[in-house]
Every structure is written in structure tokens, then in C-alpha cells.
A and B are shown apart, each in its own frame.
Chain A
Amino acid sequence: MIEARNIHFTYPNGVEALSGVSVEVKTGEFMAIMGQNGAGKTTLVKHINGLLKPTKGEVLVNGTSTKKVSVAKLSREVGFVFQNPDHQLFCETVEEEVAFALRNFNFSKQLIKKRVTWALNLLSLTQYRQTSPFMLSGGERKRVALASVLAWNPDIVILDEPTIGQDHQQKEKLRQFIVQLNTQGKTVIIVTHDVEFVAECNPRVALMVQGKILADGPANKILTNRDLVAQASIVPPQISQIFFELSDQDLPQDIINVYDARDVIIKRLEAST
């Protein structure tokens, strides 16, 4: 469980990035944090693994204040994948990169081998095992960064913009994988601008504006609320836009997924014949 209690954070240059955020994420939840550039999304999640400590207020991860433990210790529980993969990749081969943290956590050689193989396979990177991460495309580098964190199987997984540079199939795989993590009781928090990805996953959504949480609730309620969405600089999912245009047709307004939309329309056509 993650609890942020009225946290404030001011960067050394004086910019207040968080101005009173309180949020509770239960174990096994899947939450998406969305909102305008500069709203404080990344700043907020950096508090969960202790990279940043609140200027005021406190963050508790499984009951312990992040002020009392080191990032090194917290990172075993909280895996963090950065927005820009180039900020975290540095090894000579993809395999080395994925094994690095495992070595630091003192995993056995055998287990390291097993976990690396598993993670590379999961993210379709097996063919690049011996390749330098810097020879890969942007989307592939992003997946190496994901693999290197998922490999140590943290209880809380934070993904900052995980869908950048990913094609549709990779996104679908990522979605299925997040669902799988959830069923294993892991907590997943993503920071994203990708409304269509969120529409397909339908997680809990927190909208941030200017260092505060503006709204918090299920994706199909939040993303179909035109006022909230506009305040957070988000474009509603296409399916929601279609249903909004047809609002005079007495159709439900909380539809964001293609298949739900299809079913509603077919049901309606069947009823009228």
C-alpha cells in the first residue's frame, strides 16, 4: 500500500511541483496518472521510490516513511522505469543491462540467468541479447529499460510513459502483462499521455493539474467527463468522442472501449427492430 499524505515538493530552483497531494494506492491496484506537461506527475511518482523526499507531508510505502529508508533499499520493492530509456541504460549488452540490478541485489547466478531469459522473452528482446542497447531503436530501448526493472520482480511497478515508441502489438502485450501483474497482487502505476491505451486498460485514473490531483476514479468515468478532461489538457478517447456526438440518441456516455461500443450499438439496433 502506498499513502501520500498532503505532500508538497519544491525543486531547488524554487518551482513548487507538488502543492498538497494526498492519494492512497492499495496493493494490487492499477492506476494511471494523467495530466498536462509540467503538472507534477513524474515528480509525484519519484516520491514513491524515494528518489525525491517531500518538502512537507510524508509518503508511506507499506507503512514505512520514505524519509526513513534509502532509495537502494526501497528499490527492491519499488521498480521504476524512467520516461527516457537513455537515462537508465549504460551497459554494453542488453543482457548485461538486464542482469545489472539482479547482481546488485545479490541474486544467485542461476536465478539471474533465469530471470534475464524470462524478461527478455517477455519483451521480445531475446534476439538482441548480445547487442548494445545503443544500437537499438527508440522503442526497443524503452523495452530494455522495462525488462531491466521487471527482471527483479518488484511488488510495486512504476512505469513513466511506458507506451512511447511502442507499436500497437507491443502495447497490447504490455496491457496483458500489466493485467497479469495485477492478478499476482502487484501494484502498477503508470504515468501516461496515451489516452487510447488507458481506454483499453480501464484502470483507476488520477488527473493532475498544477501540482494537485484534480480528479480520481475509474477511467470510463474520468475520461468521459468533458470538463475534467479539458482542464487536464487531455483529448477524450475517440470512442467517447463518438458517443458524445451521439448524445441525443440516448446512448450511455461512459463508453471508452471499442468492443463495449460495438455491443451497445448492436443491442440498440436489435431493440429497435
Chain B
Amino acid sequence: MTDTPVIWLAAFVTVVVFSYALKDSYIYRLVQHATLGATVGVTVVVTWKQVLLPRWWAPIWAAAQGTAIDPATSRPDYGGLLWLLALIPGLLWYFQLSKKWFWLSTLITGLFVGTAAGLAFKNQILLIMPQLAASIKPLNPFVRPDPALLYGPAWPEPGTPAAWAAALNNALFLAALLATLFYFFFSVRTDHRFLQAPRRFGRLAIMVCLGAMFGSTVMTRMAYLLDRLMFLSHDWWQEQVLVLLPRVWGGG
């Protein structure tokens, strides 16, 4: 029962948010702003409690008090004080607020952009190279491909209907891949009538992909709605309203 006020408040907020589907209202906007404020507040508190306090402030405080002990020498370890240096790059961000000292903030911005660019380069290489290799797929249903060169599921027995189906699937994949790449090929004129068919097929492949994305978007929105309906029907109606109402009316 300790959660009772929280559940009633959550149910109220949920219903108010749903009311927007009918009409915008003052109470909807009030709830919207309160939710945003609460989210920011909770995130600040949790970030302090779970990140900054144990990982940044606690080592500094322990070192300052001399309670941090180096396990190798059993003597006080003052290394935790080095965490104070993290304040310098952190505070550099705030110079963006000053026209005069703005250039100081570019030091930290440049550091972050450079780091991110380096990481992105490595990330993309490791991400895309296996994709390139995996796009080379077997097309002959009568031959068993070398397993070392095969990505994805195992190849069926050669010559069987399953091998034919796999080969056709791979052929369709290859056609869609090439046609889609061709659709975005702007270096030469592609308005020749022989080049129109692959362009059209490429566009069709893109539309199928976008259709799948749109379908999955609808399903996600449905899941959001269902989550709230389940909360209202189970956590609030069944476990709160149907339990509390008999007590109120019955005097129990």
C-alpha cells in the first residue's frame, strides 16, 4: 500500500495525457511541464548518487581525509585528489556563455569532436567491413559453399528445394542491393530507358524498407499505448480501485 499515492498520481497523469487526443487543455500542459521538471530533477539526483558521488567525490573526500589506503604499501593514498583535475575540462564548457572567453570552450569542444571522429572512424570500419563481406552471397543451388566464407544460417543440401529457395532469396537480395545503390548513383546520367528499370526496382526496394520501418513504428506506438492500458487496468483498476472501493463503501 506504500505505493498507493504514486499509482493514483500515475493513473491521473496517464488519463490527463490521453485527454490530449480529444483536446488540448490547461491541465494537460500543467502535467506536461511537471513531468518534464520531475524527469530532469530525478536524473540530476540519480546521476549524483550513482555516478558523481561514488566515482568522483568519494575518492576525493577519502584522499583528503587520509582514509584512502594504498593496498600495496598500506600507507595513505592521496591519488584520489587527482580527480579534482577533472573540474578543469568540465568547467571549460561553461565559457560558451561568455563572448570574451568563448575561445576557451573551443579547447574542450575540439577535444571531444576529435575523439568522437577517431572513434567513429574505428567504429564504422569494424561495423561495415563484415557487412561488405556478408553481402557476397552464394547464388548456385547445386554447390555447397565453403562454410568459412558463408555468413548467416547454414546452407541447405545442394539441389534441394530449400537450396533453390536460399539461392533465389540471395539473388533477390543482390538485385535489391545493386538497384538501391544504383538509385543513389548521381555521377552519370541515368535517364536512359535501359537504366530506368533498375532505378525503378531500386526505388521499390527502398519503399519496401520504408514500409517495414513504418509498420514497426506503428507497432511501437501500439506497445506504448498497451503499456499504459495495462497499467490502468491492472495496477490501478484491479489492485487499487477494486481493492479500496469495497473498504470505503463497506467500512472495512
Genuine A/B complex = no
Q: Which residues of A contact B (CB under 8 A)?
A: none
Q: Which residues of B contact A (CB under 8 A)?
A: none
